[in-house]
């Protein structure tokens, strides 16, 4: 797992800015939009069903770098599946969200993982498994250990959250940011041919043409 302390020491002078595309995937009404809304606006409200995709931005000023998240919040319905690959193409991180009170949604998250594995090389993308709705503890269908175990075998970040009661929402995004930055460092020390430059020095560099 990548929930480590802040990597490295602060650079003297300029702090680099990274732009990362983060995509939220998962079944309908597991709380993808609510997680994004909680993270960006620190609020909770009933969301309308997402049709297509909606977008959020959030900036994180860390000691070593500034991280700009571009959050793509996708439609969850199975029927939209055929257009969803439009959205995760070129993503730097993905949150696979399921509802701890609905076992099927974890199965669906596993299917999403298969899709991502087809599209990305193992170290091209940071993937987090997120069990949302811990506020519904009484209706829990998925044990914490079950999600944790699956995440461990697949080398995913894992966290249980509640967008409603604001439990660990910031933490999961922070963990993703740190994992991304750490990979950035590794890439810098050992440049790989696949490494996509994401450093934003005035222009938007992270954008890759899609669909």
Partner 1 sequence: PAALPPAPLGFTDVNLNCRNTYEVSRRRSAPEHLPHGGTAPAAPAPPQEPAERARRAGIAGAGSSFAEFFTRNFFTKRTKELKPAVQSAPGWKLFGKVPPRENLPKDSKIIQQEYEARTGRMYKPPPPSARRKNMEFEPLSTTALILEDRPANLPAKSVEEALRHRQEYDEMVAEAKKREIKEAHKRKKIMRARFKQEENIASAMVIWVNEILPNWEGMRATRRVRELWWQGLPPSVRGKVWSLAVGNELNITPELYEIFLSRAKERWKSFSETSSENDIEDAGASVADREASLELIKLDISRTFPSLYIFQKGGPYHDLLHSVLGAYTCYRPDVGYVQGMSFIAAVLILNLEEADAFIAFANLLNKPCQLAFFRVDHSMMLKYFAAFEVFFEENLPKLFLHFKSYSLTPDIYLIDWIFTLYSKSLPLDLACRVWDVFCRDGEEFLFRTGLGILRLYEDILLQMDFIHIAQFLTKLPEDITSEKLFSCIAAIQMQNSNKKWAQVFASLMKDNKEGDKNHSPALKS
Interacting residues toward partner 1 by CB under 8 A: 27-29, 46-57, 70, 75, 77-83, 86, 104, 107-108, 110-111, 204, 207-211
Instruction: Choose among 27, 71, 65: nearest CA to 49.
Output: 27
Number of neighbouring beta carbons within 10 Å of residue 167: 17
Closer residue to partner 1 (CB): 27 or 132 = 27
Closer residue to partner 1 (CB): 110 or 187 = 110
Instruction: Choose among 112, 171, 106: nearest CA to 141.
Output: 106
Least distance in Å: CB of 91 to partner 1? 13
Least distance in Å: CB of 27 to partner 1? 7
Indicate if the alpha-carbon torsion angle 4, 41, 50, 32 is positive or negative.
positive
Least distance in Å: CB of 180 to partner 1? 17
Work out the burial of residue 105: count CB atoms within 10 Å of its CB; fewer than 13 is exposed, 13-18 middle, 19 or more buried: buried
Q: Which residue has the tokens 């439609």?
A: 75
CB 27 within 8 A of CB 208: no
Q: Is 109 left (phi over 0), alpha (psi -120 to 50) or beta?
A: alpha
Closer residue to partner 1 (CB): 5 or 201 = 201
97: which strand partners? 26, 130
4's tokens: 């480590």
Closer residue to partner 1 (CB): 73 or 160 = 73
Least distance in Å: CB of 189 to partner 1? 30
Least distance in Å: CB of 72 to partner 1? 8
CA-atom Rg of the chain in angstroms: 17
Closer residue to partner 1 (CB): 78 or 149 = 78
């Amino acid at each position: 797992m990548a929930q480590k302390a802040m990597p490295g020491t602060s650079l003297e002078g300029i702090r680099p800015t990274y732009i990362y595309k983060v995509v939220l995937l998962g079944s309908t009404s597991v709380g993808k939009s609510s997680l994004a809304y909680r993270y960006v606006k620190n609020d909770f409200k009933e969301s309308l069903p997402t049709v297509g995709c909606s977008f959020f931005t959030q900036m994180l000023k860390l000691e070593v770098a500034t991280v700009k998240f571009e959050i793509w919040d996708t439609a969850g319905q199975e029927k939209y599946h055929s257009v969803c690959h439009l959205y995760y193409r070129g993503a730097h991180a993905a949150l696979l969200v399921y509802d701890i009170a609905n076992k099927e949604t974890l199965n669906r998250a596993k299917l999403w993982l298969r899709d991502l594995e087809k599209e990305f090389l193992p170290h091209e993308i940071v993937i987090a498994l997120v069990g949302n709705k811990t506020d519904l503890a009484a209706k829990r269908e998925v044990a914490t250990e079950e999600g944790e175990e699956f995440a461990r075998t697949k080398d995913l970040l894992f966290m249980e959250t509640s967008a409603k009661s604001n439990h660990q929402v910031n933490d999961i995004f922070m963990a993703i940011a740190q994992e991304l930055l750490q990979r950035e460092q590794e890439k810098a020390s050992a440049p790989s041919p696949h490494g996509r430059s994401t450093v934003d020095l005035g222009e938007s560099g992270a954008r890759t043409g899609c669909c």
